[in-house]
Amino acid sequence: MKKALLFSFLIIVLAIQCKPAKSEIQFPETDLSSADLIPMPLQIASDGDAFGLDQFTGIYTSSNDEPLAAVAEFLSEKIRSKTGLITPINKEDKEGVERYIYLSVEEDFEANKEAYELVMNRDSIILSASDPEGIFRGVQSLRQLIPEEANDTLADRSIWPIPTGKISDEPNFGFRGSMLDVARHFFSVEDVKKYIDLLAYYKINILHLHLTDDQGWRIEIKSWPKLTEIGGSTEVGGEAGGFFTQNDYKDIVAYAAKHYMTVIPEIDMPGHTNAASVSYPFLDGTGKPLALYEGMRVGFSSFDTRKDTVYAFIDDVVREISAITPGPYFHIGGDESHSTSKNDYIYFVNRVEKIVQKYGKRMIGWDEIAQADVDSTSIAQFWASEDHTKMAVEKGMQVIMSPAKKTYLDMEYDTLSKHGLHWAAYIPVDTAYVWSPESYTEGLPLENILGVEAPLWSETISDLGELEYLAFPRVIGHSELSWSSPENRDWEKYKVRLANQAPFLDRMNVQFYRSHRIDWKENKYTYKEIEKD
Ligand code: TNX
Protein backbone atom coordinates (compact mmCIF):
# COMPACT_ATOMS: atom_id res chain seq x y z
CA MET A 1 0.00 0.00 0.00
CA LYS A 2 2.71 2.46 1.12
CA LYS A 3 4.89 1.44 -1.81
CA ALA A 4 2.09 2.12 -4.22
CA LEU A 5 1.54 5.62 -2.78
CA LEU A 6 5.23 6.48 -2.93
CA PHE A 7 5.35 5.25 -6.49
CA SER A 8 2.45 7.44 -7.62
CA PHE A 9 3.94 10.45 -5.79
CA LEU A 10 7.21 9.95 -7.67
CA ILE A 11 5.34 9.75 -10.95
CA ILE A 12 3.58 13.08 -10.19
CA VAL A 13 6.83 14.83 -9.26
CA LEU A 14 8.50 13.51 -12.38
CA ALA A 15 5.57 14.63 -14.49
CA ILE A 16 5.73 18.17 -13.05
CA GLN A 17 9.46 18.35 -13.62
CA CYS A 18 9.14 17.19 -17.20
CA LYS A 19 6.69 19.96 -18.02
CA PRO A 20 8.12 23.28 -19.10
CA ALA A 21 7.77 26.31 -16.84
CA LYS A 22 4.80 28.64 -17.39
CA SER A 23 6.51 31.01 -19.77
CA GLU A 24 8.26 28.44 -21.94
CA ILE A 25 5.34 26.35 -23.05
CA GLN A 26 5.66 25.11 -26.60
CA PHE A 27 2.20 25.06 -28.14
CA PRO A 28 1.49 22.91 -31.16
CA GLU A 29 1.15 25.16 -34.21
CA THR A 30 -2.26 26.79 -34.50
CA ASP A 31 -4.24 28.24 -37.40
CA LEU A 32 -6.67 30.96 -36.45
CA SER A 33 -8.03 31.17 -39.98
CA SER A 34 -9.40 27.63 -39.78
CA ALA A 35 -10.95 28.05 -36.31
CA ASP A 36 -14.56 26.98 -35.82
CA LEU A 37 -16.03 30.46 -35.86
CA ILE A 38 -19.69 31.00 -36.82
CA PRO A 39 -20.53 33.47 -38.23
CA MET A 40 -17.31 33.71 -40.20
CA PRO A 41 -15.51 37.00 -39.38
CA LEU A 42 -14.66 39.56 -42.04
CA GLN A 43 -10.87 39.19 -41.81
CA ILE A 44 -8.57 36.78 -40.03
CA ALA A 45 -4.76 36.79 -39.88
CA SER A 46 -3.14 33.82 -38.21
CA ASP A 47 0.30 33.76 -36.56
CA GLY A 48 0.57 30.17 -35.43
CA ASP A 49 1.24 30.46 -31.71
CA ALA A 50 -1.23 30.30 -28.79
CA PHE A 51 -2.48 32.20 -25.77
CA GLY A 52 -2.67 29.74 -22.89
CA LEU A 53 -5.93 30.39 -21.06
CA ASP A 54 -5.39 29.07 -17.56
CA GLN A 55 -5.79 29.79 -13.85
CA PHE A 56 -3.34 32.70 -14.15
CA THR A 57 -5.53 34.63 -16.60
CA GLY A 58 -7.32 37.83 -15.57
CA ILE A 59 -9.77 40.15 -17.29
CA TYR A 60 -9.20 43.92 -17.40
CA THR A 61 -11.44 46.63 -18.81
CA SER A 62 -10.70 50.11 -20.14
CA SER A 63 -13.25 51.65 -17.77
CA ASN A 64 -15.46 50.67 -14.86
CA ASP A 65 -18.60 51.86 -16.64
CA GLU A 66 -21.54 49.59 -16.03
CA PRO A 67 -22.21 48.32 -19.58
CA LEU A 68 -18.59 47.28 -20.09
CA ALA A 69 -18.35 45.83 -16.58
CA ALA A 70 -21.42 43.72 -17.36
CA VAL A 71 -19.80 42.37 -20.54
CA ALA A 72 -16.65 41.51 -18.54
CA GLU A 73 -18.83 39.64 -16.00
CA PHE A 74 -20.56 37.84 -18.86
CA LEU A 75 -17.22 36.72 -20.31
CA SER A 76 -15.87 35.63 -16.94
CA GLU A 77 -19.01 33.61 -16.25
CA LYS A 78 -18.90 31.93 -19.67
CA ILE A 79 -15.23 31.04 -19.16
CA ARG A 80 -16.13 29.58 -15.77
CA SER A 81 -19.00 27.50 -17.08
CA LYS A 82 -16.91 26.16 -19.97
CA THR A 83 -13.58 25.56 -18.22
CA GLY A 84 -14.16 25.88 -14.48
CA LEU A 85 -11.54 28.67 -14.38
CA ILE A 86 -12.13 31.74 -12.24
CA THR A 87 -10.92 34.78 -14.18
CA PRO A 88 -10.77 37.78 -11.82
CA ILE A 89 -11.95 41.12 -13.24
CA ASN A 90 -9.75 44.21 -12.83
CA LYS A 91 -7.71 42.60 -10.03
CA GLU A 92 -5.63 45.46 -8.67
CA ASP A 93 -2.64 43.76 -7.11
CA LYS A 94 -2.18 41.54 -10.21
CA GLU A 95 -0.99 38.82 -7.82
CA GLY A 96 -1.36 35.49 -9.61
CA VAL A 97 -2.23 37.11 -12.94
CA GLU A 98 0.31 36.26 -15.62
CA ARG A 99 -1.69 36.91 -18.74
CA TYR A 100 -4.77 38.93 -19.39
CA ILE A 101 -7.76 39.60 -21.60
CA TYR A 102 -8.24 43.34 -22.07
CA LEU A 103 -11.64 44.71 -23.10
CA SER A 104 -11.14 48.15 -24.52
CA VAL A 105 -13.81 50.65 -25.58
CA GLU A 106 -12.17 53.26 -27.78
CA GLU A 107 -14.30 56.09 -29.02
CA ASP A 108 -12.30 56.65 -32.18
CA PHE A 109 -12.58 52.97 -33.22
CA GLU A 110 -14.96 52.01 -36.08
CA ALA A 111 -18.23 53.93 -36.44
CA ASN A 112 -20.23 50.68 -36.51
CA LYS A 113 -21.05 49.89 -32.88
CA GLU A 114 -20.94 46.15 -33.52
CA ALA A 115 -17.50 46.17 -35.18
CA TYR A 116 -14.64 44.79 -33.12
CA GLU A 117 -11.03 43.78 -33.34
CA LEU A 118 -9.65 40.80 -31.47
CA VAL A 119 -5.87 40.46 -31.20
CA MET A 120 -4.52 37.32 -29.59
CA ASN A 121 -0.88 37.42 -28.50
CA ARG A 122 1.04 34.86 -26.44
CA ASP A 123 0.29 36.53 -23.12
CA SER A 124 -2.50 38.97 -23.88
CA ILE A 125 -5.77 39.19 -25.74
CA ILE A 126 -6.93 42.66 -26.69
CA LEU A 127 -10.54 43.08 -27.70
CA SER A 128 -11.41 46.60 -28.93
CA ALA A 129 -14.58 48.28 -30.18
CA SER A 130 -16.22 51.68 -30.12
CA ASP A 131 -19.03 50.46 -27.88
CA PRO A 132 -19.69 47.67 -25.35
CA GLU A 133 -21.98 46.18 -28.00
CA GLY A 134 -18.97 45.53 -30.26
CA ILE A 135 -17.10 44.10 -27.27
CA PHE A 136 -20.06 41.78 -26.65
CA ARG A 137 -19.99 40.53 -30.26
CA GLY A 138 -16.23 40.00 -30.02
CA VAL A 139 -16.70 38.10 -26.76
CA GLN A 140 -18.79 35.57 -28.69
CA SER A 141 -15.88 34.99 -31.08
CA LEU A 142 -13.54 34.61 -28.13
CA ARG A 143 -15.88 32.08 -26.48
CA GLN A 144 -15.87 30.09 -29.71
CA LEU A 145 -12.07 30.07 -29.79
CA ILE A 146 -11.74 28.48 -26.34
CA PRO A 147 -11.41 24.73 -26.88
CA GLU A 148 -14.19 22.61 -25.37
CA GLU A 149 -11.55 20.49 -23.66
CA ALA A 150 -8.38 21.49 -21.84
CA ASN A 151 -4.92 20.35 -22.80
CA ASP A 152 -3.46 18.72 -19.68
CA THR A 153 -0.14 17.69 -21.20
CA LEU A 154 1.44 21.08 -21.79
CA ALA A 155 2.13 22.09 -18.19
CA ASP A 156 1.40 21.27 -14.57
CA ARG A 157 -2.06 22.71 -14.93
CA SER A 158 -4.91 22.65 -17.43
CA ILE A 159 -4.50 25.01 -20.36
CA TRP A 160 -7.01 25.96 -23.03
CA PRO A 161 -4.82 27.15 -25.94
CA ILE A 162 -6.35 29.93 -28.03
CA PRO A 163 -4.78 30.47 -31.46
CA THR A 164 -2.91 33.76 -31.84
CA GLY A 165 -3.52 36.26 -34.63
CA LYS A 166 -5.95 39.03 -35.43
CA ILE A 167 -9.65 39.15 -36.24
CA SER A 168 -11.20 42.32 -37.68
CA ASP A 169 -14.91 41.95 -37.90
CA GLU A 170 -18.18 43.74 -38.49
CA PRO A 171 -21.64 42.63 -39.58
CA ASN A 172 -22.90 42.59 -43.12
CA PHE A 173 -26.44 43.37 -41.88
CA GLY A 174 -27.31 45.20 -38.67
CA PHE A 175 -30.60 43.28 -38.38
CA ARG A 176 -30.10 39.57 -37.71
CA GLY A 177 -33.11 37.90 -36.22
CA SER A 178 -35.20 34.95 -35.33
CA MET A 179 -38.92 34.90 -34.61
CA LEU A 180 -40.54 32.63 -32.05
CA ASP A 181 -44.27 31.92 -32.25
CA VAL A 182 -45.44 31.65 -28.64
CA ALA A 183 -49.09 31.86 -29.75
CA ARG A 184 -49.73 28.48 -31.41
CA HIS A 185 -47.91 26.83 -28.52
CA PHE A 186 -46.82 28.77 -25.50
CA PHE A 187 -43.18 28.71 -24.37
CA SER A 188 -42.07 29.72 -20.89
CA VAL A 189 -39.80 32.62 -19.94
CA GLU A 190 -37.06 30.07 -19.20
CA ASP A 191 -37.43 28.50 -22.66
CA VAL A 192 -37.22 31.91 -24.31
CA LYS A 193 -34.11 32.77 -22.27
CA LYS A 194 -32.37 29.61 -23.39
CA TYR A 195 -33.20 30.46 -26.99
CA ILE A 196 -31.70 33.93 -26.41
CA ASP A 197 -28.51 32.37 -24.96
CA LEU A 198 -28.05 30.25 -28.05
CA LEU A 199 -28.90 32.94 -30.58
CA ALA A 200 -26.55 35.45 -28.93
CA TYR A 201 -23.65 32.98 -29.19
CA TYR A 202 -24.07 33.23 -32.96
CA LYS A 203 -24.37 37.06 -32.89
CA ILE A 204 -28.09 37.22 -33.63
CA ASN A 205 -29.39 40.53 -32.32
CA ILE A 206 -33.16 40.47 -32.88
CA LEU A 207 -35.79 38.34 -31.15
CA HIS A 208 -39.22 38.79 -32.71
CA LEU A 209 -41.99 37.39 -30.50
CA HIS A 210 -45.21 36.43 -32.28
CA LEU A 211 -47.40 37.10 -29.25
CA THR A 212 -50.94 36.64 -30.57
CA ASP A 213 -52.80 34.50 -33.06
CA ASP A 214 -56.10 32.67 -33.52
CA GLN A 215 -55.12 30.04 -30.97
CA GLY A 216 -53.89 32.29 -28.17
CA TRP A 217 -53.20 35.76 -26.79
CA ARG A 218 -49.95 35.58 -24.82
CA ILE A 219 -49.26 39.03 -23.38
CA GLU A 220 -51.03 40.66 -20.45
CA ILE A 221 -52.84 43.90 -21.37
CA LYS A 222 -53.88 45.55 -18.13
CA SER A 223 -56.75 47.53 -19.65
CA TRP A 224 -58.19 44.44 -21.38
CA PRO A 225 -57.70 41.54 -18.91
CA LYS A 226 -59.88 38.98 -20.67
CA LEU A 227 -57.39 38.79 -23.56
CA THR A 228 -55.20 36.54 -21.45
CA GLU A 229 -57.88 35.18 -19.07
CA ILE A 230 -59.91 33.81 -21.97
CA GLY A 231 -57.73 34.23 -25.05
CA GLY A 232 -54.62 32.84 -23.35
CA SER A 233 -56.27 29.67 -22.06
CA THR A 234 -55.74 27.33 -25.01
CA GLU A 235 -53.23 26.42 -27.70
CA VAL A 236 -52.98 24.12 -30.71
CA GLY A 237 -54.02 20.61 -29.71
CA GLY A 238 -56.11 21.72 -26.75
CA GLU A 239 -53.42 22.07 -24.08
CA ALA A 240 -53.70 24.78 -21.42
CA GLY A 241 -51.84 27.59 -23.22
CA GLY A 242 -50.46 30.35 -20.99
CA PHE A 243 -49.27 33.93 -21.24
CA PHE A 244 -46.56 36.35 -20.20
CA THR A 245 -47.45 38.87 -17.53
CA GLN A 246 -46.01 42.30 -18.31
CA ASN A 247 -43.34 41.54 -15.71
CA ASP A 248 -42.46 38.31 -17.51
CA TYR A 249 -42.18 40.24 -20.75
CA LYS A 250 -39.98 42.88 -19.10
CA ASP A 251 -37.82 40.09 -17.73
CA ILE A 252 -37.37 38.69 -21.28
CA VAL A 253 -36.66 42.17 -22.68
CA ALA A 254 -34.05 42.83 -19.98
CA TYR A 255 -32.42 39.43 -20.51
CA ALA A 256 -32.30 40.06 -24.25
CA ALA A 257 -30.80 43.53 -23.65
CA LYS A 258 -28.04 41.95 -21.57
CA HIS A 259 -27.26 39.97 -24.73
CA TYR A 260 -27.43 43.10 -26.92
CA MET A 261 -30.60 41.73 -28.47
CA THR A 262 -33.69 43.79 -29.32
CA VAL A 263 -37.13 42.31 -28.75
CA ILE A 264 -39.81 43.00 -31.38
CA PRO A 265 -43.35 42.39 -30.14
CA GLU A 266 -45.90 41.27 -32.72
CA ILE A 267 -49.64 41.67 -32.30
CA ASP A 268 -51.00 40.02 -35.44
CA MET A 269 -54.02 41.80 -36.95
CA PRO A 270 -56.54 42.30 -38.56
CA GLY A 271 -56.53 38.53 -39.30
CA HIS A 272 -55.18 35.89 -36.90
CA THR A 273 -57.35 37.52 -34.21
CA ASN A 274 -59.74 34.78 -33.11
CA ALA A 275 -58.36 34.64 -29.54
CA ALA A 276 -58.85 38.41 -29.14
CA SER A 277 -62.38 38.36 -30.58
CA VAL A 278 -63.45 35.44 -28.38
CA SER A 279 -62.29 37.49 -25.38
CA TYR A 280 -64.03 40.70 -26.55
CA PRO A 281 -66.61 39.85 -29.25
CA PHE A 282 -67.11 43.49 -30.34
CA LEU A 283 -63.71 43.23 -32.07
CA ASP A 284 -64.95 40.61 -34.51
CA GLY A 285 -65.68 41.64 -38.08
CA THR A 286 -66.74 38.31 -39.56
CA GLY A 287 -70.11 37.89 -37.83
CA LYS A 288 -69.50 34.16 -37.57
CA PRO A 289 -69.96 32.27 -34.27
CA LEU A 290 -66.91 32.70 -32.03
CA ALA A 291 -65.18 29.92 -30.11
CA LEU A 292 -61.71 29.23 -28.80
CA TYR A 293 -59.70 27.55 -31.55
CA GLU A 294 -57.18 24.73 -31.19
CA GLY A 295 -56.65 23.78 -34.83
CA MET A 296 -54.14 24.89 -37.45
CA ARG A 297 -56.18 26.64 -40.13
CA VAL A 298 -55.41 30.27 -40.99
CA GLY A 299 -57.37 33.13 -42.54
CA PHE A 300 -60.79 32.75 -40.91
CA SER A 301 -60.76 35.63 -38.42
CA SER A 302 -60.78 39.41 -38.78
CA PHE A 303 -61.19 42.49 -36.65
CA ASP A 304 -64.03 44.83 -37.60
CA THR A 305 -61.96 47.47 -39.40
CA ARG A 306 -64.74 50.09 -39.51
CA LYS A 307 -65.44 50.46 -35.78
CA ASP A 308 -63.78 53.25 -33.79
CA THR A 309 -63.88 51.12 -30.66
CA VAL A 310 -61.60 48.61 -32.38
CA TYR A 311 -58.99 51.34 -32.87
CA ALA A 312 -59.41 52.52 -29.28
CA PHE A 313 -58.67 48.93 -28.24
CA ILE A 314 -55.61 48.76 -30.52
CA ASP A 315 -54.41 52.09 -29.13
CA ASP A 316 -54.45 50.64 -25.61
CA VAL A 317 -52.62 47.49 -26.70
CA VAL A 318 -49.94 49.37 -28.64
CA ARG A 319 -49.53 51.90 -25.81
CA GLU A 320 -49.12 49.29 -23.07
CA ILE A 321 -46.69 47.12 -25.03
CA SER A 322 -44.69 50.06 -26.39
CA ALA A 323 -44.22 51.35 -22.84
CA ILE A 324 -42.36 48.15 -21.88
CA THR A 325 -40.50 47.71 -25.19
CA PRO A 326 -37.30 49.76 -25.41
CA GLY A 327 -36.57 48.68 -29.00
CA PRO A 328 -37.64 50.88 -31.93
CA TYR A 329 -40.02 48.39 -33.62
CA PHE A 330 -43.66 47.28 -33.30
CA HIS A 331 -44.85 44.42 -35.55
CA ILE A 332 -48.54 44.52 -36.52
CA GLY A 333 -48.62 41.19 -38.39
CA GLY A 334 -50.98 41.89 -41.27
CA ASP A 335 -50.54 38.48 -42.94
CA GLU A 336 -53.17 36.17 -44.42
CA SER A 337 -56.13 38.43 -43.70
CA HIS A 338 -58.34 36.37 -45.99
CA SER A 339 -61.54 37.36 -44.16
CA THR A 340 -60.95 41.10 -44.54
CA SER A 341 -61.82 42.83 -47.82
CA LYS A 342 -58.89 44.47 -49.58
CA ASN A 343 -60.30 47.98 -49.01
CA ASP A 344 -60.86 47.29 -45.34
CA TYR A 345 -57.38 45.82 -45.04
CA ILE A 346 -55.75 48.91 -46.52
CA TYR A 347 -57.88 51.25 -44.38
CA PHE A 348 -56.91 49.22 -41.31
CA VAL A 349 -53.14 49.17 -41.93
CA ASN A 350 -53.16 52.92 -42.64
CA ARG A 351 -54.87 53.64 -39.33
CA VAL A 352 -52.80 51.25 -37.26
CA GLU A 353 -49.58 52.68 -38.68
CA LYS A 354 -50.56 56.06 -37.19
CA ILE A 355 -51.15 54.47 -33.79
CA VAL A 356 -47.77 52.73 -33.86
CA GLN A 357 -46.06 55.99 -34.81
CA LYS A 358 -47.94 57.87 -32.08
CA TYR A 359 -46.18 55.64 -29.54
CA GLY A 360 -42.80 56.31 -31.09
CA LYS A 361 -42.30 52.98 -32.85
CA ARG A 362 -41.48 51.95 -36.39
CA MET A 363 -44.12 49.67 -37.85
CA ILE A 364 -43.18 46.28 -39.24
CA GLY A 365 -45.67 44.01 -41.01
CA TRP A 366 -45.58 40.86 -43.14
CA ASP A 367 -45.15 41.68 -46.84
CA GLU A 368 -48.92 42.17 -47.43
CA ILE A 369 -48.79 45.55 -45.63
CA ALA A 370 -46.96 47.06 -48.62
CA GLN A 371 -50.36 47.18 -50.38
CA ALA A 372 -51.50 49.95 -48.00
CA ASP A 373 -50.37 53.59 -48.11
CA VAL A 374 -47.56 52.95 -45.71
CA ASP A 375 -44.79 55.34 -44.86
CA SER A 376 -41.24 54.82 -46.08
CA THR A 377 -40.15 54.43 -42.43
CA SER A 378 -42.27 51.30 -42.04
CA ILE A 379 -40.77 47.90 -42.79
CA ALA A 380 -42.09 44.96 -44.81
CA GLN A 381 -41.12 41.42 -43.88
CA PHE A 382 -40.81 39.41 -47.08
CA TRP A 383 -42.04 35.84 -46.61
CA ALA A 384 -43.95 34.93 -49.74
CA SER A 385 -44.83 37.64 -52.26
CA GLU A 386 -42.30 39.24 -54.58
CA ASP A 387 -45.06 41.56 -55.83
CA HIS A 388 -45.60 42.95 -52.34
CA THR A 389 -41.88 43.31 -51.92
CA LYS A 390 -41.69 45.36 -55.12
CA MET A 391 -44.49 47.59 -53.80
CA ALA A 392 -42.47 48.05 -50.61
CA VAL A 393 -39.43 49.13 -52.63
CA GLU A 394 -41.55 51.58 -54.63
CA LYS A 395 -42.63 53.09 -51.32
CA GLY A 396 -39.02 53.41 -50.21
CA MET A 397 -39.49 50.87 -47.40
CA GLN A 398 -36.85 48.64 -45.88
CA VAL A 399 -37.41 44.90 -46.23
CA ILE A 400 -36.57 42.05 -43.86
CA MET A 401 -35.64 38.86 -45.72
CA SER A 402 -37.61 35.88 -44.42
CA PRO A 403 -38.31 33.84 -47.56
CA ALA A 404 -40.35 30.84 -46.42
CA LYS A 405 -38.51 28.45 -48.76
CA LYS A 406 -35.19 29.23 -47.06
CA THR A 407 -35.68 30.71 -43.61
CA TYR A 408 -38.84 29.10 -42.22
CA LEU A 409 -37.54 27.07 -39.34
CA ASP A 410 -40.87 25.24 -39.07
CA MET A 411 -40.44 23.60 -42.48
CA GLU A 412 -39.55 19.90 -42.32
CA TYR A 413 -35.99 18.89 -43.13
CA ASP A 414 -37.31 16.02 -45.26
CA THR A 415 -40.16 13.52 -45.38
CA LEU A 416 -38.87 11.80 -42.24
CA SER A 417 -38.82 14.94 -40.08
CA LYS A 418 -40.28 14.46 -36.61
CA HIS A 419 -41.88 17.91 -36.56
CA GLY A 420 -42.77 20.67 -38.96
CA LEU A 421 -44.85 21.45 -42.03
CA HIS A 422 -43.87 21.45 -45.69
CA TRP A 423 -46.24 23.84 -47.46
CA ALA A 424 -43.34 26.06 -48.59
CA ALA A 425 -40.60 23.45 -49.01
CA TYR A 426 -38.56 20.77 -47.36
CA ILE A 427 -35.52 22.60 -46.04
CA PRO A 428 -32.50 20.41 -45.34
CA VAL A 429 -29.56 22.06 -43.57
CA ASP A 430 -27.72 22.93 -46.80
CA THR A 431 -30.80 24.43 -48.49
CA ALA A 432 -31.27 26.78 -45.52
CA TYR A 433 -27.71 28.05 -46.03
CA VAL A 434 -27.09 27.96 -49.78
CA TRP A 435 -28.78 31.17 -50.96
CA SER A 436 -27.98 34.80 -50.83
CA PRO A 437 -30.20 37.37 -49.10
CA GLU A 438 -28.59 40.05 -51.29
CA SER A 439 -29.80 38.53 -54.57
CA TYR A 440 -32.70 36.21 -53.66
CA THR A 441 -35.48 38.60 -54.63
CA GLU A 442 -35.34 40.15 -58.07
CA GLY A 443 -35.80 43.90 -58.11
CA LEU A 444 -34.90 44.31 -54.45
CA PRO A 445 -31.91 46.66 -54.22
CA LEU A 446 -29.33 45.99 -51.56
CA GLU A 447 -29.97 49.34 -49.87
CA ASN A 448 -33.58 48.30 -49.18
CA ILE A 449 -32.56 45.15 -47.33
CA LEU A 450 -32.59 45.70 -43.58
CA GLY A 451 -31.46 42.18 -42.74
CA VAL A 452 -32.47 38.55 -42.36
CA GLU A 453 -34.86 36.86 -39.96
CA ALA A 454 -35.64 33.16 -39.51
CA PRO A 455 -39.19 32.61 -38.18
CA LEU A 456 -40.11 29.60 -36.06
CA TRP A 457 -43.86 28.97 -36.19
CA SER A 458 -45.02 26.59 -33.51
CA GLU A 459 -48.06 24.68 -34.74
CA THR A 460 -46.13 21.38 -34.61
CA ILE A 461 -43.85 21.92 -31.62
CA SER A 462 -44.86 22.14 -27.99
CA ASP A 463 -41.69 21.96 -25.91
CA LEU A 464 -38.13 23.21 -25.87
CA GLY A 465 -36.61 20.02 -27.27
CA GLU A 466 -38.94 20.18 -30.27
CA LEU A 467 -38.18 23.88 -30.72
CA GLU A 468 -34.46 23.07 -30.72
CA TYR A 469 -34.95 20.24 -33.21
CA LEU A 470 -36.39 22.65 -35.79
CA ALA A 471 -34.23 25.70 -35.05
CA PHE A 472 -30.86 23.96 -34.74
CA PRO A 473 -28.78 23.69 -36.73
CA ARG A 474 -30.53 25.75 -39.42
CA VAL A 475 -30.66 29.08 -37.57
CA ILE A 476 -26.88 28.91 -37.10
CA GLY A 477 -26.56 29.09 -40.89
CA HIS A 478 -28.95 32.04 -40.99
CA SER A 479 -26.73 33.86 -38.52
CA GLU A 480 -23.82 33.50 -40.95
CA LEU A 481 -25.99 34.62 -43.88
CA SER A 482 -26.78 37.84 -42.06
CA TRP A 483 -23.45 38.60 -40.35
CA SER A 484 -20.79 37.41 -42.80
CA SER A 485 -19.88 39.04 -46.09
CA PRO A 486 -20.86 37.14 -49.27
CA GLU A 487 -17.17 36.30 -49.99
CA ASN A 488 -16.89 34.59 -46.62
CA ARG A 489 -19.89 32.29 -47.10
CA ASP A 490 -19.16 28.87 -48.52
CA TRP A 491 -21.16 25.72 -47.80
CA GLU A 492 -18.20 23.29 -47.98
CA LYS A 493 -16.23 25.31 -45.44
CA TYR A 494 -19.25 26.18 -43.33
CA LYS A 495 -20.33 22.58 -42.92
CA VAL A 496 -16.99 21.70 -41.30
CA ARG A 497 -17.32 24.57 -38.83
CA LEU A 498 -20.94 23.55 -38.22
CA ALA A 499 -19.94 19.93 -37.54
CA ASN A 500 -17.60 21.23 -34.84
CA GLN A 501 -20.46 23.00 -33.03
CA ALA A 502 -21.72 19.63 -31.75
CA PRO A 503 -19.67 19.67 -28.51
CA PHE A 504 -20.99 23.14 -27.66
CA LEU A 505 -24.58 22.26 -28.54
CA ASP A 506 -24.35 19.02 -26.57
CA ARG A 507 -22.86 20.79 -23.56
CA MET A 508 -25.76 23.25 -23.72
CA ASN A 509 -28.09 20.25 -23.92
CA VAL A 510 -29.55 21.40 -27.23
CA GLN A 511 -31.66 18.68 -28.86
CA PHE A 512 -30.48 19.65 -32.32
CA TYR A 513 -31.26 17.72 -35.50
CA ARG A 514 -28.23 15.59 -36.32
CA SER A 515 -28.58 15.72 -40.08
CA HIS A 516 -26.49 13.03 -41.78
CA ARG A 517 -25.34 15.66 -44.28
CA ILE A 518 -23.04 16.90 -41.54
CA ASP A 519 -20.13 14.89 -40.14
CA TRP A 520 -20.84 15.85 -36.52
CA LYS A 521 -17.87 15.95 -34.22
CA GLU A 522 -18.19 13.34 -31.50
CA ASN A 523 -17.62 14.50 -27.97
CA LYS A 524 -17.72 13.48 -24.37
CA TYR A 525 -21.14 14.88 -23.53
CA THR A 526 -23.49 12.65 -25.44
CA TYR A 527 -23.65 10.29 -28.28
CA LYS A 528 -26.84 10.29 -30.29
CA GLU A 529 -27.58 8.43 -33.43
CA ILE A 530 -27.12 10.44 -36.61
CA GLU A 531 -30.54 11.07 -38.12
CA LYS A 532 -31.36 10.36 -41.72
CA ASP A 533 -32.31 12.94 -44.29
C1 TNX B 1 -47.77 31.12 -42.64
S2 TNX B 1 -45.86 33.27 -42.72
C3 TNX B 1 -48.07 32.03 -41.64
C4 TNX B 1 -48.25 31.56 -40.26
C5 TNX B 1 -48.13 30.08 -40.14
C6 TNX B 1 -47.01 29.58 -41.01
C7 TNX B 1 -46.77 28.12 -40.90
C8 TNX B 1 -46.99 34.05 -42.22
C9 TNX B 1 -46.78 35.46 -42.23
N10 TNX B 1 -48.08 33.39 -41.81
O11 TNX B 1 -49.49 31.99 -39.77
O12 TNX B 1 -47.89 29.75 -38.82
O13 TNX B 1 -47.32 29.89 -42.35
O14 TNX B 1 -45.65 27.73 -41.61
Helix (H) or strand (E) holding 119: strand 116-120
Q: What is the pLDDT of residue 4?
A: 38
Q: pLDDT category, 111, cuts 50, 70, 90?
A: confident
Residue 336 bears catalytic tag: yes
Question: Domains along the chain?
Answer: 2-169 (3.30.379.10), 175-486 (3.20.20.80)
Average pLDDT, the chain: 94
pTM of the complete model beyond 0.85: yes
3-state secondary structure of 209: strand
Q: How far apart are CA 120 and CA 2, in angstroms?
A: 47
In tens, the pLDDT along 425-450 reads: 999 999 999 999 999 999 999 999 99
% of the chain residues with pLDDT over 70: 94
Q: Report which of residues 196 and 523 the model is more confident about.
A: 196
Strands 379-382 and 362-366: parallel
Residue 473 reports pLDDT greater than 90: yes
Catalytic residue (choose from 336, 386, 438, 466):
336
The CA 143 to ligand 1 mean position distance, Å, reads 35
Residue 22 reports pLDDT greater than 60: no
In tens, the pLDDT along 202-220 reads: 999 999 999 999 999 999 9
The CA 178 to ligand 1 mean position distance, Å, reads 14
CB 456 within 8 A of CB 183: no
In tens, the pLDDT along 485-509 reads: 999 999 999 999 999 999 999 999 9
Residue 146 has a CB neighbour count (10 Å cut-off) of 17
Q: What is the pLDDT of residue 453?
A: 98
Q: What is the pLDDT of residue 451?
A: 98
Nearest by Cα to 210 from 20, 366, 27, 39? 366
Which residue's alpha carbon is at the smallest distance from atom 8 of ligand 1?
335
Q: How far apart are CA 227 and CA 229, in angstroms?
A: 6
DSSP 251-277: HHHHHHHHTT-EEEEEEEESSS-HHHH
Strands 116-120 and 262-269: unpaired
DSSP 485-496: -GGG--HHHHHH
Residue 38 CB contacts under 8 Å (≥ 6 apart), including other chains: 144, 202, 476, 479, 480, 494, 497, 498, 501
Q: How far apart are CA 435 and CA 234, in angstroms?
A: 38
Q: What is the pLDDT of residue 110?
A: 78
The CA 457 to ligand 1 mean position distance, Å, reads 7
3-state secondary structure of 361: coil
Q: What is the pLDDT of residue 447?
A: 98
In tens, the pLDDT along 302-329 reads: 999 999 999 999 999 999 999 999 999 9
Q: Which of 335, 406, 461 to mutate to test the pocket of ligand 1 (most atoms within 8 A of CB)?
A: 335
Give the residues surrounding ligand 1 with Cβ less than 6 Å away: 298, 335-336, 366, 383, 408, 410, 421, 457, 459
Residue 200 reports pLDDT greater than 50: yes
Residue 21 reports pLDDT greater than 60: no
